[in-house]
Structure 1
Amino acid sequence: MKAVQFDAFGPAHEAACCADVPDPGAPADDEVVVEVIAFPINPADLLTIEGKYAARPPLPYTPGAEAVGQISQTGAGVDGLASGDHVMLLSRENWAQKRKVKAAEVLKIQTQPDRLLQYAMLKVNPATAALMLREYVELESGDWLIQDAANSAVGHCVIRLARKAGIRTVNVVRRESLVAPLKASGADVVLVDLDGLSGQVSEATGSGPRLAIDAVAGDTSLRLAECLAEGGVLVNYGMLSGEPCKMMPDWLVFRRLSLTGFWLARTLGQMPRAGIESLYAELAGHVRDGTLAVGIEATYDIADIKGALAHAGQQGREGKILVLPNGQV
């Protein structure tokens, strides 16, 4: 069977390749075999291949934080799962045609044929958006938040989930061309990141947002923090700028602002199984009712993983890059 591997850290489209690897074989009593239907390429995957993520894995390594698949075999001791079930893979190393994992490392999901690829993107971005919206500030209907990278997959999820909850969003982007599409997606206010941002935000929101969601860091963190209401929280979940987060110490002291970080893997690792199941059942429901729909720019065969990775690393994309390791759905 085929899997994506890399044996040295470096630019993703150069370091990773499609390799022939042994078939995983029959499952043990507590395992299942999953035929992978689709997996997305996320920024965390690119950082993993580059050796810039949380911890460097042992090499050679198969990346892949998320995927959707269909069970083809179950172990004799597995209950509640059967061949043919669609599942989301909770563990990593998912960029392969097949996965053999513990039954506890998959989550059965109710899917729809016309939205199957959306479930491949359920684990990371929708969950990141949902948890950042609820874990740091008790936002109520009518409250404001501000976010950068608003055209990203997480950004779109924040907009849609916030709108469903009655929370209003200020969305900061780098290009004027993104304003109209984001407004059409449900964004309340869309601003191009220029000097004078805090004045525009104050004029739009009145008292200012209570929550800022930051994927960029660097000077952008500072500009978002300047926009916050007293006692507001800036949550950073990315480093698109490659620079440290910035915050004025007098804002921490006199305006009671706070700066914290969000990492999905740690948050999920601290949640009980029931909490994880509840979270993803809720998010899967949002996919079914159309609240969540992440844009897809292109799909690739696993044999062209280098092309897929190069595409995923390009600026200005209008959607996610997905790989279909067992052919078109």
Structure 2
Amino acid sequence: MRAVVVPEYAPIEEISIGDVAQPQPGPDEVVVEVAAVGIGFVDGLKVQGRYQTKDPLPFTPGAELSGRILQTGQGVSGWNVGDRVFANVRSGALAEYCVVPAAALRRLPDNASYAEGAAMPINYLTALYAIADRAAAEPGETLLVLGASGGTGAAAIAIGKLLGLRVIAAASTEEKREFAAGLGADETIDSSAPDWRERFKGEGNGVDIVFDPVGGQLGEEAFRALAWRGRLLVIGFASGEIPSARYNIALLKGASLVGVDMAQLERREPELAKERLAQLDAWLASGELKPVVGEIVEFDDFQRAFAQLSGRSAQGKVIVQVGHLDG
């Protein structure tokens, strides 16, 4: 089968598609014929060996996939060949076929496309866990989303609105702000403007929650935009820079700096993970939640998907279309 192969950690321009053996399912596993793969910022770091955990070489990148079940292994129940599914795996998604633990499978409803399924697994669980649990958001609170036009930011806008929050989207260009407004943001601000924090100065003007997948100077400035008892959610560092928090700001504002590591959720809080996944799946099936799909690139052009993430030009979740499956 065809798969993206990383023989050595390297820039994405040096990575290519190769021929590898088609995998077989072990006990409690299935083989999924891959239709689409969602690409995230972390995928690019893993390819270069810059992520905090490294995949053993050689490996196939990609963690978020959708497709249909081709084979089931011994002990698999509740799933059948041909079922439409999506899943989050450690790696291996950027291939024509991928082995997936049956426990990781989620059913893709008929009202969702394969591209939408591939956009779901990480971003929307991250946003729901961050906003509902780590920030303990209450309806009516104000949520400031940094990097609002990207895949994670778009998910935060959607989840914020579903939870009854007032959402302010921060983005650096007019095109990105218009995109965020189209997703339902109540207000947009130009995060590239030197005085963007002026909007939040003065008693009663700060934000209750900041959702920050960007980091860097923007994250530091957003920490200062918090209201009394505000919470800044540390999601990631797409800017490539880790901010230095000023503890005196937390003191003066009674504010909290809250880390969000979705990778640890299932290990440390498995029951909460199940509850949040069930909520997301219910919203997806009912049509209340529609994952935001950005550009869809063909498998042979997979490098362009990574370039969009590293160049911070993506709007919505960037998808690599691996297989042209019906439905």
Mapped to 1, the partners of 2:26 and 2:134 lie a distance apart of: 41
The structure-2 alpha-carbon separation of the partners of 1:298 and 1:99, relative to structure 1 and needing over 3 Å to count, comes to closer
* 1:300–1:308 CA contact under 8 A, matched in 2: no
* 1:197–1:223 CA contact under 8 A, matched in 2: no
Q: Name the structure 2 match of 1:182.
A: 180
CA shift for structure 1 position 290: 4.5
Mapped to 2, the partners of 1:24 and 1:77 lie a distance apart of: 17
Pick one of 254, 268, 271 that aligns with 1:270. 268
* 2:149–2:314 CA contact under 8 A, matched in 1: no
Matched, 1:240 2:217: no
Q: Superposition RMSD on alpha carbons, in Å?
A: 2.2
Matched, 1:284 2:284: no
Amino acid paired to 2:227 = A
CA shift for structure 1 position 266: 1.2
Mapped to 2, the partners of 1:307 and 1:251 lie a distance apart of: 40
Mapped to 2, the partners of 1:295 and 1:101 lie a distance apart of: 23
* 2:199–2:205 CA contact under 8 A, matched in 1: no
Alignment of 1:210-229 (within 5 A): 210-229=208-227
Mapped to 1, the partners of 2:147 and 2:283 lie a distance apart of: 22
* 1:170–1:191 CA contact under 8 A, matched in 2: yes
Matched, 1:11 2:8: no
Mapped to 1, the partners of 2:100 and 2:266 lie a distance apart of: 18
User: Comparing 117-126 with 78-87, which one deviates more in the overlay?
Assistant: 78-87
Give the number of aligned pairs: 323
Q: Name the structure 2 match of 1:143.
A: 141
The structure-2 alpha-carbon separation of the partners of 1:240 and 1:127, relative to structure 1 and needing over 3 Å to count, comes to same
Calculate the TM-score normalised by the size of structure 1.
Answer: 0.89
User: Comparing 305-314 with 88-97, which one deviates more in the overlay?
Assistant: 305-314
Q: Name the structure 1 match of 2:65.
A: 67
Amino acid paired to 1:3 = A
The structure-2 alpha-carbon separation of the partners of 1:170 and 1:180, relative to structure 1 and needing over 3 Å to count, comes to same
User: Comparing 182-191 with 318-327, which one deviates more in the overlay?
Assistant: 318-327
* 2:154–2:316 CA contact under 8 A, matched in 1: no
Q: Name the structure 1 match of 2:35.
A: 37
CA shift for structure 1 position 169: 1.4
* 1:119–1:284 CA contact under 8 A, matched in 2: no
Matched, 1:102 2:101: yes
* 2:34–2:322 CA contact under 8 A, matched in 1: yes
Mapped to 1, the partners of 2:109 and 2:319 lie a distance apart of: 17
CA shift for structure 1 position 18: 0.7
Question: Runs (4+) of structure 1 moved beyond 6 Å?
Answer: none
Q: Deviations over 1:43-93 (max 9, x none)?
A: 110111122212122211111121112111212422111111222233222
Mapped to 2, the partners of 1:310 and 1:180 lie a distance apart of: 22
Mapped to 1, the partners of 2:177 and 2:68 lie a distance apart of: 38
CA shift for structure 1 position 280: 2.5
User: Structure 1: any 5+ residue segments left out of the alignment?
Assistant: none
Q: Name the structure 1 match of 2:257.
A: 259
Q: Name the structure 2 match of 1:21.
A: 20
Alignment of 1:151-170 (within 5 A): 151-170=149-168
Amino acid paired to 1:322 = I
Matched, 1:89 2:69: no
CA shift for structure 1 position 307: 4.1
CA shift for structure 1 position 254: 2.9
